Structure 1
Amino acid sequence: MNEHDEVVVKIRWADVDAYGHLRHSAYADWATFARSEWFERVGLGPALFTREGVAPITLEETSTFLKEVRLSEALRLSMQLLAASADGSRFVHEVTFQRGAALVARYRMIGAWFDLKARRIVPPPARIADGCAQLARAQPLAVLP
Structure 2
Amino acid sequence: MALDIFLFYMQNQIYIFISTLLCVHNKLFCTFVDQKTDIMYLKDFEIRWNDIDANRHLANKAYIEFAAHTRMSFLTEKGFDQRLLGKFNIGPVVFYEHIYYFKEVFYGRPVKVSLEISGLSEDGKFFEFRHKYYDYKGRNFAQCEMMGAWMDLNTRKLIALPGEIHQLLDTVERPEDFKVLTKEDTRKFAKTPVDLEQV
Larger radius of gyration: 2
Q: Which residue identity does 2:147 align to in structure 1?
A: I
Picking from 131, 146, 161, the partner of 1:109 is 146
Instruction: Specify which structure has the higher proportion of helix.
Output: 2
Within a 5 Å distance, the mapping from 1:49-128 to structure 2 comes to 49-99=85-135, 100-128=137-165
Distance in 1 of aligned mates of 2:38 and 2:79 = 15
Picking from 84, 96, 101, the partner of 1:48 is 84
SS in 1 for 2:106: coil
Distance in 2 of aligned mates of 1:97 and 1:136 = 20
Which has the higher mean CA deviation after the structures are superposed, 6-15 or 121-130? 121-130
Q: Provide the residue aligned with 2:60 in structure 1.
A: 24
The count of corresponding residues between Structure 1 and Structure 2 is 145
Instruction: Specify which structure has the higher proportion of strand.
Output: 1
- The CA deviation string for residues 62-115 of structure 1, in whole angstroms up to 9 with x for no partner, is 111111010011111110011122221001101111113211111111110111
What's the TM-score, normalizing by structure 2? 0.68
Residue ranges of structure 1 left out of the alignment (5+ in a row):
none
Q: Provide the residue aligned with 1:139 in structure 2.
A: 176
Within a 5 Å distance, the mapping from 1:6-21 to structure 2 comes to 6-21=42-57
Give 4+ residue runs of structure 1 displaced > 3 Å after superposition: 1-4
Percent identity between the aligned chains?
A: 26
Which has the higher mean CA deviation after the structures are superposed, 21-30 or 1-10? 1-10
1:2 deviates by 5.5
What's the TM-score, normalizing by structure 1? 0.91
SS in 1 for 2:117: strand
Q: Which residue identity does 2:86 align to in structure 1?
A: T
Residue ranges of structure 2 left out of the alignment (5+ in a row):
1-36, 183-199
CA contact (8 A) 2:117 2:128 kept: yes
1:4 deviates by 8.0
SS in 2 for 1:123: coil
CA contact (8 A) 1:22 1:70 kept: yes
RMSD: 1.7
